[in-house]
Amino acid sequence: MVEQKSIHEPRAQLLSAQDAIQDAERLRALVLRNRQRAEREVQLRVPFMVIIEAVDQLEVDELRLLAQRLEERLAGMQH
**Do 79 and 29 form a contact (C-beta atoms < 8 A)?**
yes
C-alpha angle with apex 19: 15 to 21, nearest 5 degrees? 115
Residue 52 lies in a domain: yes
Distance CA 57, CA 50 (A): 11
Query: Model-level pTM?
Result: 0.43
Q: Is the pLDDT of residue 61 over 90?
A: yes
Residue 10 lies in a domain: no
Q: If you count them, how many residues does the chain have?
A: 79
Determine the pLDDT at residue 4: 66
Per the structure, the complete domain to which residue 41 belongs is given by 17-78
Interval 18-60: pLDDT, tens: 888 898 888 888 888 887 777 776 777 889 899 999 999 999 9
Q: How many domains does the chain have?
A: 1
Distance CA 58, CA 65 (A): 10
Residue 1 lies in a domain: no
Residue 12 lies in a domain: no
Residue 57 lies in a domain: yes
Interval 5-20: pLDDT, tens: 666 777 777 778 888 8
